[in-house]
């Protein structure tokens, strides 16, 4: 007499090992809690026990293909004669959404859109060492670097936006130093003009850490291959939804409206909202640490 309970467990494990390793967690969430209940040879009825109506509905709507594979493995030529039924053994519990989030992450979807957390020990010391290497022994440490070092120590899931005049060290820091400290792993770096003029937006969207230098110098809208695009707006939306880290610089945009009598109004005439739209400004307000660079590193000739 066949031991159908053993056959079911063995087939379940065989099915798991036919899947790519990325889907093993998904398999455990949905199939790990079902078990063999009984088999009636006269009616060819196989009964499986499931812990909730929630799991049962998933198996019926999304797991049917995998269940049929198990039946084929257990019963071979007789599989088509087998009638399948489920027995729900307890009242529906609340779904474990932490498991569901993990399950969809393993399928390549970031359910929470969580911006990566950066924690670099001794960030200030490492920044100083990099500056010495890139600039030389006579590099100048400006007050804004203290705030950048704090962000590197723990960015708390926030993007970085550096604002200031030309010559304050923003570009060198964001294009060279920070990617070096982050290990250049999954990092894309470009100027704002490159992002728009050369259509690099699609390439940038593939990276996990994206550095865009000189926002406000490019056109906010463009036509790429006949398609109307808003590159920076697309970048912000994708970074928010897919959990990407943005490092941004500008020397001509402000995060809020400044009065006309503000001494720097001529250098920062418009805001991010005026240039890219309020949706972009809202994302920046929610997700960025803004650091103002005031100290010019080099003297005017």
DSSP string, 207-253: -SEEEEESTTSS-S-EEETTEEE-HHHHHHHHHHHHT-EEEEEESSE
Q: HSE of 192 in the Cβ direction (CA atoms, 13 Å)?
A: 22
Q: Which pLDDT score is estimated for 109?
A: 47
Segment 237-264 shows an average pLDDT of 88
Q: How confident is the model at residue 102 (pLDDT cuts 50, 70, 90)?
A: low
10: pLDDT strictly greater than 60 = yes
Q: Which fold has domain 4-106?
A: GMP Synthetase; Chain A, domain 3 (3.30.300)
User: What pLDDT, on the 0 to 100 scale, is given for residue 98?
Assistant: 57
**Position 117 confidence tier, pLDDT thresholds 50, 70, 90:** confident
- What one-character-per-residue DSSP string does 152-166 give? HH--TT-EEEEEE-T
pLDDT in tens, 126-159: 999 999 888 888 888 889 999 999 999 999 999 9
29-46 per-position pLDDT tens digit = 788 888 899 999 889 899
In CATH terms, the superfamily for domain 123-293 is P-loop containing nucleotide triphosphate hydrolases (3.40.50.300)
Q: How high is the pLDDT of residue 301?
A: 30
pLDDT at 136: 84
Residues 6+ apart with CB under 8 A from 22: 106, 107, 108
Residue 205 CA to its chain's centroid (Å):
11
Which of the two residues, 101 and 204, has the higher pLDDT score? 204
- CATH 3.40.50.300 location in the chain: 123-293
Taking only the tens place, the pLDDT of each residue in 198-243 is 768 888 888 999 999 999 999 888 887 777 889 999 999 989 888 8
* pLDDT, mean over the chain: 84
One DSSP character per residue, the chain reads: ---HHHHHHHHHHHHHHHS-GGGHHHHHHHHTT-EEEEEETTTTEEEEEES-HHHHHHHHHTSHHHHHHHHHHHHGGGGGGPEEEEEE-SPPPPP-HHHHHHHHHHTT--SS-PPPP---TTHHHHHHHHHHHHH-TT----HHHHHHHHHHH--TT-EEEEEE-TTSSHHHIIIIIHHHHTTTTTEEEEEHHHHHHT-THHHHTT-SEEEEESTTSS-S-EEETTEEE-HHHHHHHHHHHHT-EEEEEESSEESS---TT-TTTTTS-EEHHHHH-HHHHHHHHHHEEEEEE---SS---
**What stretch(es) of the chain map to CATH 3.30.300.180?**
4-106
φ, ψ (nearest 5 deg) of residue 46 = -105, 125
Residues 189 and 179 sit within 8 Å (Cβ to Cβ): yes
For the residues 79-101, what does the mean pLDDT come to? 71
């Amino acid at each position: 007499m066949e031991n159908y309970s053993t056959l079911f467990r063995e087939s379940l494990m065989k099915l798991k090992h036919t899947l790519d390793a990325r889907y093993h967690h998904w398999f455990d969430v949905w199939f790990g809690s079902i078990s063999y209940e009984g088999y009636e040879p006269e009616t060819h009825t196989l009964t499986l026990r499931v812990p909730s109506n929630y799991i049962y509905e998933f198996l019926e709507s999304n797991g049917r293909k995998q269940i049929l594979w198990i039946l084929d493995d257990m019963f071979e030529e007789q599989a088509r004669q087998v009638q399948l039924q489920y027995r729900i053994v307890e009242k529906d519990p609340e779904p474990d959404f932490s498991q569901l989030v993990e399950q969809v992450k393993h399928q390549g979807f970031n359910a929470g859109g969580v911006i990566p957390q950066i924690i670099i020990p001794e960030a200030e010391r490492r920044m100083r060492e990099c500056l010495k290497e890139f600039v030389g022994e006579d590099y100048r440490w400006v007050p804004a670097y203290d705030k950048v070092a704090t962000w590197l120590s723990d960015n708390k899931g926030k993007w970085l936006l550096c604002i200031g005049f030309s010559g304050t060290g923003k570009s060198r820091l964001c294009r060279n130093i920070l990617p070096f400290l982050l290990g250049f792993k999954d990092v894309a770096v470009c100027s704002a003009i490159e992002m728009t003029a050369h259509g690099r937006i699609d390439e940038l969207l593939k990276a996990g850490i994206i550095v865009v230098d000189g926002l406000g110098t490019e056109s906010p809208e463009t036509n790429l291959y006949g398609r109307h695009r808003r590159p920076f707006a697309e970048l912000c939306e994708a970074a928010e939804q897919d959990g990407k880290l943005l490092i941004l610089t500008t020397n001509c945009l402000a995060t809020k409206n400044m009065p006309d009598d503000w001494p720097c109004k001529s250098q920062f005439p418009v805001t991010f909202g005026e240039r890219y739209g309020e949706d972009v400004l809202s994302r920046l307000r929610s997700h960025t640490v803004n650091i103002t660079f005031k100290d010019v590193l080099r003297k005017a000739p």
